[in-house]
Chain A
Amino acid sequence: MLLIQCPACGVEAEETEFAAGGEAHIVRPGPGCTDAEWASYLFDRKNPRGVHYERWRHAFGCGKWFHMARHTHTLEVFGVYAADVLDPPQEIKDRIAERTAP
């Protein structure tokens, strides 16, 4: 069971205190998009063996959504960051590069 730190309230807690929200940084297309774009937004998800950016909510805590960069196999957590960004912060990308370097 993962140990997760909520970036909103700072609490480090067990996974059961959080709710997973699937892949992060999915862009919701506008009303004028094609059927294919809409279907992709609804259904296409990555399933990597490796680094995964994902959404989590501190459901039984402060209630805030946030992002987490995690390795799906080693379960290493590279960092957590705010929900209201469109891309992972540079420092998290740097850490991933450092930790996953061959």
Chain B
Amino acid sequence: MTRLANGGALIDRDTPVSFTFDGKQFRGVKGDTLASAMLANGVKLVNRSYKYHRPRGVVTSGPEEPNGLVNLGSGNRHEPNIRMTQIELFDGLEATSQNRYPSLRNDVGVLNAAASRLYPAGFYYKTFIHPRHAWKYLFEPMIRRIAGLGRAPTEADPDTYEHQYAFCDTLIAGGGASGLLAARRAGEAGGRVMLVEQTERLGGRLLVDDDAEIDGKPAREWVAEQVAALEAMENVTIRLRTCCSAAYDHGYALLYERRTDHTMPTGPRHRLWRVRTKQIIGATGMIERPIPFYGNDFPGVMLASAVRDYVKLWGVAPGQTTVLYTTNDDGYRTALALHEAGCKVAAILDSRADPAGLLVEQAKTAGITVHPSTGIGKTEGTKDGVTAIHTVPLGKGDDVALGEKIDCDCVAMAGGWSPVVHLYSHSGGKVMWDAGRAMYRPDPDNPPRDSSGEAYVRMVGGATGALTTQDVLTSAAGNGEGVSVHGPAEQPTASVWFTPSHGKAALGGKHFLDYQNDVTVADIRLAAREGFESVEHAKRYTTLGMATDQGKLSNINGHAILADTLGKAMPEVGTTTFRPPYTPISMGSIAGQQKGSLFKPFRQTALHEWHAEQGAEFEPVGDWRRPYRYQKGGEGRETSITREIRRVREKVGLLDASTLGKLIVRGPDAGKFLDLMYTNMMSTLKPGKCRYGLMCDDNGFLMDDGVVARLDEQTFLCHTTSGGSDRVHAWMEEWLQTEWFDLKVLTANVTEQWSQFAVAGPNARALLDRLEGDVDFAALPFMGFADGTLGGMPVRVFRISFSGELSYELATPTAFAVSLWELLLGSGDDLGVGPYGTEALHVLRAEKGFIVIGDETDGTVTPHDVGMSWAVSKKKEDFLGKRAMERPDLTRKGRKQLVGLLTEDPNFVLPDGAHALSADGTRAIGHVTSTYHSPTIKRSIAMALIEGGMDRMGEVLEIGIDRKTTVKAVIASPVFYDKDGARQNV
């Protein structure tokens, strides 16, 4: 056990917590993270690296952790790639290591490391090129098995997730020193303030680095005072375990709240907050950088700040004997913390020639040896962790001899600090290189801007590059009242991007930059040599910064190595783009409540329940669900559909056509407007009459069709396709509002206010005549309509037909839909009345050669192409599509035209979309648009768009079925049944 006797601000030593790691039972205490608990149990090896399967331990103490990724939970709550440093321990927690086989300690994937000289940067691009098939069937599956992170869960997630919306004036991201002070000042100024903190605690580094006095109080006391003050303010909301994941345009922020990950789940597990705020204050602090040296990835090699976090927050010593390798004064705090906790600090290696200052003096006073101008040249260790380091003198070129060997089981790296500038960068803010402090920091002159062009993200504290408590709090106070701070002064950082090892140093062992993707200094140098000089190219070639940690630890070092190799300055090389989310967020939180039946809600007609009870098989039509057929018993599809078709051709069938779009167009200029919208003339339509109309866009291509009825002089009712009601309504409004705004016309979409049924078949009139009402069905002419009552219910009766049979369509206010439907069905058993579905409807219309928008048309088809020139007015000066239809390509000979196809074998139904071949078989000259078996004429029928088809009647075409098979079909009229239209005019 490595739990210290004292210390540990976050833990409750008296409350033990038991958990398992790789099936083995462990104990921690309340307040531990999984990372601190494993260290307390003396276990450093927790993972295998992505590419080389090297043994790895945790490097950090926070969300930037690259190595400590585990599978959490089991069964349907299994979740991969969770950072151990963010997992708050609870009783019964189950974690397993990943990317190892058969076990973490004995992993066969380690063979990759032995062969690592064969895996340079760009390895995948250089290898596995031939034979081509092998990539898909051999190489890729093999690589995916060996490389990679955790396995995706295989069962549905039982937890719930939700989206929430919030609005505020100031959103503060980060609850450390600067976030607390900025929130205090914003709260005092009034306005709604949200303070979010990704961990479960407020205070940030002040909880650990407590050597400063603020306003005359110890740092921790000052934190407690701020928290109490904020909690007392009604206009301030504090959310813990909530990460500001992203800052988007115009003050839109995304927060990711982990509600129940630290406890047993009750209510939503994660929340995704969508926040609109006037201002974002980014108090996101800094992340310490590792130092690339030989073997800097042994378990036990950690960030200096993380080492003292474990000591002071969780009362854990990551090692018994530690070597500190630092480039700055701040690193000495780690040595002091270890010394105070009674742990041995074997040596401090400082890259600077002349370290001085209070912290350095304190370390020396404590009896710790300080080696100036010295780094780590080589590391020794086992899979369980580092065992020794060899020093190396710095500043003497690459070809140097190693110094003394120092035994240790922990190495603390203090490579300088990088401001967390992500939120500033997400929506357009620029960062600048600060050579003096060796960091990218926000450029105050190029902030993200809101819709008025004003800056809406302001960074404060460490995120601006402030390194001391004094500077951090001064920047956070902004224009508000400042605070006084007394803390140790610090000397400047010396940037060390790479520490040479022995001999031809750079080519020696591995100096890791990106732990998670196994990218080394040598990889970046190779990329530069091979011409990947742009930072974006080098990133993609080597995968630097492309792992789930997105290069939080590695990018700056990597870019510095690239700059050094190219002989350029840092700003010339530049940095890659920071993209949201800041840390990975769960797929569940992205989905929120939108899953299952809420994933894509569908529209249903008033008769939906009735259809379902009658065995309807539904199909999607636009956003609707319509009955495809009504199944009786266990009958097959063909049987139902044939029965329904024969019912309409021989008796009488009912179709729920309520999904048809119904638009009211009214006003003194309604006729004039519809003349512009439709290709045919609508203004001459008489009240009481219907006309079938076609709509084109201004390219001249068909986009919708339907029957238009003139209700009175100023009012038209326009029917649209089932999927088209919203689109056509919006289309009309667009032209009315943006082009012909001088026309006095109003529109209304009344699709759902009216239900509509087709009553079709030779017995239709007999059925309707039986019902009490005032409509004279015999006198109603084809393409006429009448208002009246039927069975005491209000109806509008249209004499129109989409089946070619005697047919009426009854529209009734939707409240009457079920009553009218049931009345119709209950009044004609002897007449053979029954429902039919959409597939029967489609066969019936195809037998008559009627087009369906979206089947016979595809956005490149004109009315002339489908043989409907009769519906294109020659008299009108203008309408949508008129000018376009005069363009050369739309008038040329040889355009695809709608024809019928009759297969040589009457029982063979062509596949939908099958291509017709040119005479020499080299080219497709058209395709099948609708194809069915017709029970009426007892053979297969099809419609097709064929080049010059209307002039090729009787020609036999070869239709391609698959690569080897063609079948013969003869071009015919697309009207297969009742060519004179006699059946509907009775």
- Which A residues are closer than 8 A to B by beta carbons? 1-4, 14, 21, 28-31, 33, 35, 38-39, 41-42, 55, 57, 59, 63-65, 71, 74-77, 83-84, 99
Contacts and interface: CB of A to CB of B under 8 A. Distances in A.
A77 B452 contact: yes
B878 A83 contact: no
A29 B884 CA distance: 11
Question: What size tier do the contact residues of chain B reach?
Answer: 20 to 34
A28 to B, nearest CB: 6
Contact of A31 (B248, B699, B883, B888): B883
A2 B451 contact: yes
Contact of B250 (A3, A41, A57, A59): A3
Given A3-B250, A75-B451, A33 B883 contact: yes
B251 interface: yes
B481 interface: no
Contacts of B451: 2-4, 75-77
27 contacts: A1-B248, A1-B250, A2-B249, A2-B451, A3-B251, A3-B252, A3-B450, A3-B451, A21-B734, A21-B738, A31-B877, A31-B878, A31-B883, A42-B698, A42-B884, A57-B730, A59-B730, A65-B737, A74-B449, A75-B249, A75-B428, A76-B451, A76-B452, A76-B453, A77-B452, A84-B737, A84-B741
B407 interface: no
Given A42-B884, A65-B737, A74 B252 contact: no
A59 B731 CA distance: 12
B274 to A, nearest CB: 9
Contact of A2 (B250, B452, B887, B888): B250
Contact of B449 (A14, A28, A57, A76): A76
Nearest to A77: B451
B806 to A, nearest CB: 40
A59 B810 CA distance: 32
B276 interface: yes
B733 interface: yes
A65 B735 CA distance: 10
Contacts of A28: 698, 739
A69 B250 CA distance: 15
B882 interface: yes
Interface in B840-888: 877-878, 882-884, 887-888
B733 A42 contact: no
Contacts of B453: 71, 74, 76, 99
Contacts of A63: 733
Nearest to B453: A76
B129 to A, nearest CB: 37
Given A31-B878, A42-B699, A77-B451, A14 B252 contact: yes
A1 B252 contact: yes
A63 B452 CA distance: 24
Contacts, number: 70
Nearest to A33: B883
A1 B737 contact: no
A18 B888 CA distance: 37
Contacts of B877: 31
Contacts of A55: 738
Contacts of A99: 453
B378 to A, nearest CB: 50
B55 to A, nearest CB: 44
A90 B769 CA distance: 67
Contacts of B734: 21, 57, 65
Given A75-B428, A75-B449, A75-B451, 6 more contacts: A3-B249, A21-B738, A38-B887, A39-B887, A64-B737, A84-B741
B883 A83 contact: no
A75 B250 contact: yes
A3 to B, nearest CB: 4
Nearest to B698: A42
Contacts of A74: 428, 449, 453
Nearest to B878: A31
A7 to B, nearest CB: 12
Which of A1, A4, A29, A84 has its CB near the most chain B CB atoms (within 10 A)? A1
Contact of A1 (B249, B450, B452, B882): B249
B561 to A, nearest CB: 32
B385 to A, nearest CB: 47
Contacts of A33: 883
Contacts of A39: 887
Which of B250, B251, B739 has its CB near the most chain A CB atoms (within 10 A)? B250
Nearest to A99: B453
Interface in B250-269: 250-252
A35 B888 contact: yes
Interface in B267-298: 276
A27 B968 CA distance: 50
Nearest to B879: A31
Nearest to A85: B741
A66 to B, nearest CB: 9
Interface string B879-901: 00011100110000000000000
B577 to A, nearest CB: 15
Contacts of B887: 35, 38-39
A63 B731 CA distance: 12
Contact of B884 (A4, A14, A21, A38): A38
Q: Which 4 pairs from chain A and chain B are nearest by CB?
A: A3-B250, A76-B453, A84-B741, A65-B737
B746 to A, nearest CB: 12
Contacts of B449: 74-76
B580 to A, nearest CB: 12
Contacts of B698: 28, 41-42
B396 to A, nearest CB: 48
Contacts of A31: 877-878, 882-883
A25 B453 CA distance: 24
Interface in B730-759: 730, 733-734, 737-739, 741
A17 B382 CA distance: 59
Interface string B421-457: 0000000100000000000000000000111110000
B967 to A, nearest CB: 40
Contacts of B251: 3
Contacts of A2: 249-250, 451
A48 to B, nearest CB: 17
Interface string B64-80: 00000000000000000
Given A3-B250, A31-B877, A74-B428, A83 B741 contact: yes
A30 B452 contact: no
A93 B665 CA distance: 37
